[in-house]
Chains A and B, each alone.
Chain A
């Protein structure tokens, strides 16, 4: 293909030949697509998947998204889905309050690793142990993105962050917490999975995990959790196009993808 002089095709208007729209610019429930997150950030990709699941399952009139605090908080006011904004780390308790007061809602938390695994570790662990019928989504990029890219409890050994510039080392900084594994070990957890958004294939697989998690919630089977590894080229000090490979090689090497627990699959 590269040997030929291939023409650049017009792409500023829909095709004149008969064609079917298979994917639109902005997913159904994202009001305004423009955001100021960094080029190459994985979080909007993950948000798209979550919102697509809610829209495709026709859950928008039942859904409440509970947001933590991080870069992704930028999405708290551009979704056409009801949003409850929590403080850093506190989304699981707020989500519990919503779900207990209104059991028919579908409650999904959106939290980063700094939010969930640092500040809010006890909240999510207790919610999981309680078997709370909520779905917690962890956007894990191994850094505190919004405050400048510092180390979190999930930062992997060797990962360079603003305050571990030589790479995280166990002697000084201890070891990363593998959140999905931690929660999978609790009896109240019904579905625990880890996906990623660094390749189109992973985006599809992750979307299926989110669908499954929401299904588990709607069936009242207990706590569901989807950890989504996202790119943060800014926090990782890599070029945007290198971030997908960096994710595979560094973050996913420790926080391995897959379904760790699924009570429906016995």
Chain B
């Protein structure tokens, strides 16, 4: 089982999001992905978090709608990720 070292995490206020996608490109480890089919109440796609966040707060700084709350773990955690072809 592989793990990804993750130093931080975010809380995403998905209802605040207006689907602008700025956070996706702004994230240095590229751990944000927009939903493809799920929409928030306002009809926008919103970001979701993958393992590997560094808590660098690029997302919260670039977000025009204040969607993110950013945390840095006291001790980085290892998050299990599925291997290709695995369960």
Which residues on A are within 8 Å of B, measured CB to CB?
A: 1, 3-9, 11-15, 17-27, 30, 33-35, 37-45, 48, 197, 199-200, 203-204, 231, 233, 240-241, 243-244
Flag if B55 contacts A22 (CB, 8 Å).
yes
- Contact of A33 with B50 at beta-carbon distance under 8 Å, contacts A14-B71, A19-B72, A45-B61 already known: no
A22 engages B57 (CB within 8 Å): yes
Q: Could you write out 6 A-B pairs with CB less than 8 Å apart?
A: A6-B50, A11-B10, A11-B11, A18-B75, A25-B68, A33-B65
Given A19-B73, A25-B13, residue A45 in contact with residue B84 (CB < 8 A): no
Q: How far, in angstroms, from A241 to B20 measured CA to CA in the complex? A: 6
Instruction: Determine if B69 and A21 form an interchain contact, defined as CB atoms under 8 angstroms apart.
Output: yes
Contact, CB under 8 Å: B70 / A23: yes
**Contact in complex: B61, A18 (CB < 8 Å):** no
Q: When the two chains form their complex, are residues B25 and A241 in contact, meaning their CB atoms are under 8 A apart?
A: yes
Q: Would you list which residues of chain B between 4 and 48 have a CB under 8 Å from chain A?
A: 4, 8-14, 16, 18-22, 24-26, 28, 30, 33, 44, 48
B residues near A, CB below 8 A?
A: 2, 4, 8-14, 16, 18-22, 24-26, 28, 30, 33, 44, 48-52, 55-75, 77, 79-84, 86
Closest to A24 in B: B69
Which of A25, A39, A48 has the most chain B CB atoms inside 10 A of its CB? A25
A-B pairs, 6 with minimum CB distance:
A200-B58, A40-B20, A39-B18, A241-B21, A33-B66, A240-B20
A240 to B21, Cβ gap below 8 A?
yes
Q: Determine if A199 and B55 form an interchain contact, defined as CB atoms under 8 angstroms apart.
A: no
Q: Is the CB of B64 within 8 A of A23?
A: no
Q: How far is the CA of A24 from the CA of B67 in the complex (A)?
A: 9
- Which of B44, B52, B62 makes the CB contact (< 8 A) with A39? B44
Please classify the interface of chain A as helix (H, G, I), strand (E, B), loop, or mixed, using the class held by over half of its residues.
loop
Supposing A1-B30, A19-B8, A200-B58 touch, asked if A26 and B71 sit within 8 A by C-beta, the answer is no
Q: Which of B30, B56, B62 has the most CB of A within 10 A?
A: B62
* Contact A203 B61, beta carbon cutoff 8 Å: yes
CA distance A24 to B28 in the complex (A): 19
Question: Contact: A39 with B82, CB < 8 Å?
Answer: no
- Chain B positions within 8 Å of A17 at CB level: 73-75, 77
Known: A9-B49, A22-B57, A240-B20. A15 touches B62 (CB 8 A): no
Chain A residues within 8 Å of B55, by CB:
22
A244 and B83 CA atoms in complex are apart in Å by 34
Distance in angstroms from A197 CB to nearest chain B CB is 7
Chain B residue contacts of A3, Cβ below 8 A:
84
Alpha-carbon gap, A204 to B71, bound state (A): 18
Chain A residue contacts of B4, Cβ below 8 A: 1, 6
